[in-house]
Amino acid sequence: MKSFFVAFLGALLAIIVLVLLVGGIGGYMAGKQPAIEDRSWLIVEMYGDLLEYDPPGGIMSQLVDSDVETLQRILDNLEKAAVDDRIEGVIFKVAAGNSVGTAMLQEIRGAIRRVQDTDKKVLVWAESFDRQDYLLLAACDEVLVPPTAYIGFTGFSSETLHVKRAFDKLGIKPNIHTIKDYKSAAETIIREDMSEPAREMRGWIMDEMWETLLETLAADRGFDEEKIVELMQHAYFTADEALDSGLIDRIAYWDELETELKGADEDALRSVSQGRYAEVLRSKLDLDGDKKIAVIHAQGTIIGRRNDVNPLLGLTMGHESIIAEFRRARLDEDVAAIVFRVDSRGGDALGSDLMGHEVEITVGVKPVVVSMVDVAASGGYHISYRASKIVANPMTITGSIGSISGKINMKDFYNKLGITFDHVERGPMATIESDLQDFTPEERARFEENHWNGFNDWLRDVAEHRDMSFEDAEKLAHGRVWTGRQAVANGLVDEIGDLKHAIELAGQLAGIPADEQVTVEHFPKQKGLLESLMSGDSAAATAAHWIVYRMIREDVAETLDFVVQHPDLAMQAIEG
């Protein structure tokens, strides 16, 4: 703990120092473009978390945590690299355990193909990879690993955590109401195992994942199903075994690859990092146009009023932040259309509805196309369905039109701790929300009636906006989740496509000719360091939250990975 607080205080001190540094050099650097040499290779490093967009806290969060990578920056840089004559090709540097979802990988794969369509090579050097990472590796022209790479290629598995027995021992009694059978998140605390509807739902999602893997590897590597099953049966590979099996193309250390790619008369490989290449303006590569399309990014758990970082939940999305961005884009006469970029598992129903209402208001003024990323489910779907059109990646997880509500009776737990309460009340239903008792039969009936009324109002609104009957919408609801492909088939989503497709569709709806270049502007805009501090907003506090979250998440992830790879050393550390 001591080292944690020392690191945390050091990071805060770094912010203060950076204020002075950035204040002194900011004016000089503004508008200055990085010098990119001819025949340079763009290096894209993918380690750890991959966010969809910049974290809250803006540049302050990035200054204290420069390793943060985003899907948006990767997509932007690959689009520029495809048309930039100075860029020879792209090299991905990958390590397993990078928490990138399948839908994000599908978007990156599409961007890789567009680079390859310009006859530029895309290589990948992976110090380790697993079956999930391989969806990215397989899209590249050549896969290289070092001789000691960690390589795993296994089947699919989906586990659920259940703490009901622990709650029983602690005296914690959930009083939960779910709508309905497929809304399985509450099973973590109310069941000891997975329900049959939850098992069924995970099954149809996993079937889709399996089909996606078969289609992808058949197209990219020529693997049939028998070959894939054979690879999974072997499970773990040395570099030599991976080469023999066709999983990789070559074995080489990073410096050997650099030596091979650099020119004969050059001392080192000409390369440009993600961060430096991000500074290259799209306008300098003729990628901007006269018409403007705004992309509003909405990522994280829906909770609170403003976008923030929760040390346990991670990124959070606040309705006031998103509503403000919609109003800004709606009132901007230069913005012809809006793409609403959603990556959220949901959260608060009220906040979701307020954002969805703002989407509907905006649709009355200019087109709004939703672009779903890894997940747009529950509240993530709630904020989406009132748009002009919805576009999803094939393996986006969406739907989950259902609801979970209730309370937790903590009385017995408090008793175990020696904590007691007393109270005075007036009027009926005064203790309906008390965490010191279960619902009475009368309270439960009223609570569940209210819960159903709120849900049915939502479902009726979904049915109206998706041009369905209530009965047909109900068959897709009650917590059921779907992949993007399944959601298109059942009418919850309009089209399959990535961000580029969503931008093109938004342009079409705005009457912009398909062959006309547009300027894409992303929101929320990243505030400069001094602007954040001078504006009186919570950027500094949010940046501090981000530091805590990243430290906790990365330390835990690294520790778990070490335990898996070296259980003997982990036990020695515990024992002594």
Is 411 part of any domain?
no
Considering the domain architecture, whether residues 449 and 556 belong to the same structural domain is answered as no
Mean pLDDT of the chain, nearest integer: 89
Give yes or no for residue 26 having a pLDDT over 70. no
Which stretch of 4-18, 158-172, 331-345, 546-560 has the lowest confidence by average pLDDT?
4-18
Is 515 part of any domain?
yes
How many angstroms separate the CA atoms of 384 and 368, rounded? 10
Interstrand relation of 150-153 and 235-237 (parallel, antiparallel or unpaired): antiparallel
Neighbouring C-beta atoms of residue 8, cutoff 10 Å: 14
Give yes or no for residue 572 having a pLDDT over 50. no
Task: Indicate left, alpha or beta for 264 from its phi (over 0: left) and psi (-120 to 50: alpha).
Answer: alpha
Triad 316, 321, 325: Cα angle to 5° = 130
Q: Of 466, 501, 125, 557, whose CA–CA distance to 339 is shortest?
A: 501
Q: Which of 278, 312, 332 corresponds to the end of one domain?
A: 278
Digit-coded pLDDT (tens) for 511-530: 999 999 999 999 998 765 55
**CATH number assigned to the domain comprising residue 151:** 3.90.226.10
CA distances from 15 to 56, 59, 497 (A): 15, 10, 40
Q: Burial, 375: exposed, middle or buried (Cβ in 10 Å; 0-12, 13-18, 19+)?
A: buried
Considering the domain architecture, whether residues 272 and 313 belong to the same structural domain is answered as no
pLDDT range class, residue 39, cuts 50, 70, 90:
very high
Q: Which of 484, 503, 525 corresponds to the end of one domain?
A: 525
- Report, as an integer, the average pLDDT of 165-189: 96
Is 4 part of any domain?
no
Q: Quick one: three-class SS letters along 295-354?
A: EEEEECEECCCCCEEECCCEEEECHHHHHHHHHHHHHCCCEEEEEEEEEECCECHHHHHH
Number of independent structural domains in the chain: 3
How many angstroms separate the CA atoms of 435 and 502, rounded? 46
Considering the domain architecture, whether residues 208 and 325 belong to the same structural domain is answered as no
Digit-coded pLDDT (tens) for 424-463: 999 999 999 999 999 999 999 999 999 999 999 999 999 9
Confirm if 49 and 99 have CB atoms less than 8 A apart. Answer: yes
Digit-coded pLDDT (tens) for 245-275: 999 999 999 999 999 999 778 889 999 999 9
Considering the domain architecture, whether residues 555 and 499 belong to the same structural domain is answered as no
The dihedral sign for the CA sequence 493, 498, 499, 503: negative
Q: What percent of the chain has pLDDT over 70?
A: 84
Considering the domain architecture, whether residues 48 and 105 belong to the same structural domain is answered as yes
**Domain span holding position 317:** 288-402+439-525
Which of 465 and 266 is assigned the larger pLDDT? Answer: 465
The highest-confidence range among 63-72, 491-500, 558-567, by mean pLDDT, is: 491-500
Helix (H, G, I), strand (E, B) or coil at 473: helix
Considering the domain architecture, whether residues 267 and 336 belong to the same structural domain is answered as no
Considering the domain architecture, whether residues 374 and 225 belong to the same structural domain is answered as no
Helix (H, G, I), strand (E, B) or coil at 45: strand
Which stretch of 66-75, 76-85, 170-179 has the lowest confidence by average pLDDT?
66-75
pLDDT of residue 27: 42
pLDDT of residue 267: 87
Is 426 part of any domain?
no
Neighbouring C-beta atoms of residue 200, cutoff 10 Å: 14
Looking at the DSSP bridge assignments, the partners of residue 41 are: 89, 271
Is 243 part of any domain?
yes
Give yes or no for residue 17 having a pLDDT over 60. no
Helix (H, G, I), strand (E, B) or coil at 164: helix
Considering the domain architecture, whether residues 462 and 553 belong to the same structural domain is answered as no
The highest-confidence range among 98-102, 287-291, 488-492, by mean pLDDT, is: 488-492
| Number of residues that make up the chain | 576
Which of 120 and 262 is assigned the larger pLDDT? Answer: 120
Is 240 part of any domain?
yes
Considering the domain architecture, whether residues 314 and 210 belong to the same structural domain is answered as no
pLDDT of residue 23: 47
Digit-coded pLDDT (tens) for 47-65: 888 999 998 865 544 544 4
Considering the domain architecture, whether residues 456 and 550 belong to the same structural domain is answered as no
Considering the domain architecture, whether residues 345 and 297 belong to the same structural domain is answered as yes
* Both structure tokens of 413: 């737990």
- Report, as an integer, the average pLDDT of 201-207: 96
pLDDT of residue 263: 78
Digit-coded pLDDT (tens) for 76-93: 999 999 999 999 999 999
| H or E element that contains 153 | strand 150-153
pLDDT of residue 546: 54
Q: Burial, 238: exposed, middle or buried (Cβ in 10 Å; 0-12, 13-18, 19+)?
A: middle
Is 327 part of any domain?
yes
Looking at the DSSP bridge assignments, the partners of residue 129 are: 151
Confirm if 397 and 156 have CB atoms less than 8 A apart. Answer: no
pLDDT range class, residue 33, cuts 50, 70, 90:
confident
Is 166 part of any domain?
no
Interstrand relation of 314-317 and 308-310 (parallel, antiparallel or unpaired): antiparallel
Q: Burial, 25: exposed, middle or buried (Cβ in 10 Å; 0-12, 13-18, 19+)?
A: exposed
How many angstroms separate the CA atoms of 226 and 231, rounded? 9
Residue 136: what are its φ and ψ, rounded to 5°?
-80, -45
pLDDT of residue 569: 46
First to last CA, the chain: 18
Which of 271 and 557 is assigned the larger pLDDT? Answer: 271
Helix (H, G, I), strand (E, B) or coil at 478: coil
How many angstroms separate the CA atoms of 512 and 132, rounded? 38
Considering the domain architecture, whether residues 243 and 338 belong to the same structural domain is answered as no
